[in-house]
A and B are shown apart, each in its own frame.
Chain A
Amino acid sequence: AQSVTQLDSQVPVFEEAPVELRCNYSSSVSVYLFWYVQYPNQGLQLLLKYLSGSTLVKGINGFEAEFNKSQTSFHLRKPSVHISDTAEYFCAVSERRSSYDKVIFGPGTSLSVIP
């Protein structure tokens, strides 16, 4: 069964600085990978996804992520963060099967942008 690890539970960063949120997954088959963002008291919003093709994926709000199969990682990056990026970020994985499997989420990383 697939699993997701997000090693950093909290990441503080100054406004306009770059940030990287780490995600590693475990699976015996090929996977689809996702990053979601959650603002307080709201549901999760899709930031970006990797299905196939280019390993560098661009998403909304200036975020991007790179799929690294050898390291089983899918780290999220942004070159310059804003106060509005303060939120919870969740990495998720879905195994690629003939009938797609469920989506499993990591524990999340809390990004705090400091003015």
Chain B
Amino acid sequence: DTGVSQNPRHKITKRGQNVTFRCDPISEHNRLYWYRQTLGQGPEFLTYFQNEAQLEKSRLLSDRFSAERPKGSFSTLEIQRTEQGDSAMYLCASSLLAANSGNTIYFGEGSWLTVV
């Protein structure tokens, strides 16, 4: 059973550039989540999908952020016109929505973004 896989693990980009992160969830999981985490803080919810449908997007998320999950498999998170405040670790997680299983999510290793 492979876990949640995220790529790239580290990304350094210049301010104003676009970046894209990819997440491959655990194979049978139908829910996929994106979180953002800065040093000393807990994961901050960004958005989540059930299969290919995006169920919710955080109101704190600017229009520069967009996420997709075509065909309900892998997902991408794109940040356009990056700003220094976007520097953080972006965490992907997945879960299997099923009766009596609770909403237990499993995380990937994260993708570090540094905007210079």
Contacts and interface: CB of A to CB of B under 8 A. Distances in A.
Interface of A: 4, 6, 32, 34, 36, 42-46, 49, 51, 90, 94, 99-108
Given A43-B110, A102-B33, A94 B103 contact: yes
Contact of A49 (B41, B100, B102): B102
Contact of B91 (A34, A43, A49): A43
A32 B106 contact: no
Given A100-B102, A106-B42, 7 more contacts: A32-B104, A34-B104, A36-B107, A42-B109, A44-B93, A49-B104, A100-B97
A94 B102 contact: yes
> Could you say which of B43, B45, B100, B110 has the most chain A C-beta atoms within 10 Å of its C-beta?
B43
A32 B103 contact: yes
Main secondary structure on A side of the interface with B = strand
B72 interface: no
Main secondary structure on B side of the interface with A = loop
Nearest to B3: A43
B109 A43 contact: yes
A90 B44 CA distance: 12
A96 B56 CA distance: 16
Contacts of A101: 103
A51 B99 CA distance: 11
Interface string B34-71: 01000011111100101000001000000000000000
Given A32-B102, A43-B107, A45-B107, A107 B42 contact: yes
Given A42-B110, A102-B48, A103-B103, A108 B42 contact: yes
